[in-house]
Copies of this chain bind each other. A is one copy, B any other.
Amino acid sequence: MAFDTQAWLAEARALIGSAHVLSADRGDDLSAYTRDWRGKFQEPALAVLRPADTGEVQALMRLAARSGVAVIPQGGNTGMCAASVPVPGGRPQAILQLGRMDRIFEIDPENNTATVQAGCILQTLRERAAAAGRLFPLSLGAEGSCQIGGNIATNAGGVQVLRYGNMRDLVLGLEVVLPDGERLDLLRGLRKDNTGYDLKQFFIGAEGTLGVITAATVKLFPAPSAGSVAFAGLDSIGQAVRLLGAMRARMGERFAAFELISGDAVDLVRRYFPDTPALLERRWPWHVLMEAADGGGDEALREAMQAALMACLEEGCVEDVVLAGNLGQGRTLWSLRENITHAQQMDGGNIKHDISLPISRIPAFVERMLPQLRQSFPGARPIVYGHLGDGNLHFNVSAPAGVAPAAWQERTGAVNRLVHDAVAAMRGSISAEHGVGQLKRHEMASYKTAAELDVMRRIKRALDPQGLMNPGKVL
């Protein structure tokens, strides 16, 4: 029997209201939902469904299961791997857009938890937590538009992982709608619960392929009242790894961020953002941006940071360092880090890698890769930076001077192969925080063992036997 689009749309509209079922045939513009934000993927969708609550999600999932329609859960659609937009071919695909489900049900300062719907914008949650004297620590570039449900489905990372962990570490409870429309109520605010399999773990990081996350209870923390930022110059990455160890030993969990930035990355930022001040007296091949946070006053933390840095200077695990005297200076230091992506974009084509390795192996990895890249791709300019404290590097490779972005993008497969083979040989990850989606699906499969892929497929079949959830992603 042929699929009857009009009948399906009419059923969906009867379930959640005509205004909330967008479709191309009646002239709705779906492009903001069907295209990933990097603009690399765009395929048509049967409809964009915008449910108001969990009950409507259940009704829509039952409809989808009955009619064999694939469902693509979508939050802010800010992901890097096109996990929340349609794939080419296959069965009809409906986008389940959760943005209307944006309520914050509860902020519980004594339990240090927030319970929110999946469509809540990350920044909104951070602001509401701050108003209650609490920190929700997840912080990333897209926080003004990404949604908590998407953050959970992709196990988002960001700049505070060193201290507070990834999104997985911040989730205490979930509400999930299964592919058959059944609601799984795991919405508990408990730090400890050993009653059977921890089912929420299955859905965190699964990129919407096992069910729809509709709400979550997440951890909050006491809002730090003091912050201190420093910027250091170093001779080598090995020195940066030693500095990390020395600073963590002295500052403990106050240590919140440890970002590596290559000399080339600093040069690039200063070229495209000429107002960027020269932070250190001379150019160093490597830099580190560090931040600590604590209760108490800024002055006490700044003194502790200064004492720790002085000791590190004496021990030879840092060459030169500047400590921000106030919040404004701290922001200037951070803007250097944040402008790297923009500068790379302005500079032309670049091939991105989001890799992780055991921290102890990063110096050897980088020292091995840089000459190999320069040899295999003459003129290629590696721009290395990232969350060294988490073992996560954004190991991007800018086009040789004069090579057009499109021509350089054609080398993506070859550059990826060189970098990712080296990562795999050192037991690292080819997608540390960005996930798999449709972008890295085939590449992921080539680096996993047959046993791993087999177990993933068994889990997928157990929870989604019809294969309705976000097909063509991850697996």
Binding site for B on A (CB under 8 A): 108-113, 133, 154-155, 157, 161, 163, 165-166, 168-169, 178, 182-199, 201-202, 204-206, 222, 224, 241-242, 245, 248-254, 294-296, 356-361, 387, 390-392, 427-436, 440, 444, 447-449, 451-452, 454-456, 458-459, 461-463, 474-475
Contacts and interface: CB of A to CB of B under 8 A. Distances in A.
Contacts of A186: 452
Given A192-B432, A198-B205, 17 more contacts: A165-B169, A184-B451, A185-B452, A189-B427, A190-B429, A190-B432, A195-B429, A195-B436, A195-B444, A197-B459, A199-B459, A222-B249, A250-B296, A251-B295, A253-B253, A253-B254, A462-B462
Contacts of A197: 202, 205-206, 455-456, 459, 474
Most buried by B among A187, A194, A245: A194
A155 to B, nearest CB: 5
A250 B189 CA distance: 23
Given A195-B447, A463-B458, A357 B190 contact: yes
A102 B140 CA distance: 41
Given A157-B192, A429-B193, A431-B194, A462 B452 contact: no
A451 B206 CA distance: 19
A224 B248 CA distance: 10
A307 B383 CA distance: 47
Nearest to A444: B195
Contacts of A189: 358, 427
A358 B436 contact: no
A188 B459 contact: no
A256 to B, nearest CB: 10
Given A250-B296, A429-B192, A458-B462, A451 B358 contact: no
A231 B458 CA distance: 51
Contacts of A194: 154-155, 157, 205, 429, 431-436
A109 B451 CA distance: 30
Contacts of A251: 295
Contacts of A245: 109-110, 222
6 contacts: A184-B455, A188-B427, A192-B387, A194-B433, A199-B459, A201-B202
Contacts of A356: 190-193
Contacts of A157: 192, 194
Contacts of A360: 108, 110-111
Contact of A436 (B113, B161, B196, B435): B196
A219 to B, nearest CB: 11
Nearest to A154: B194
B459 A455 contact: no
Given A110-B359, A252-B224, A182 B429 contact: no
A205 B192 CA distance: 11
A258 to B, nearest CB: 12
A196 B453 CA distance: 9
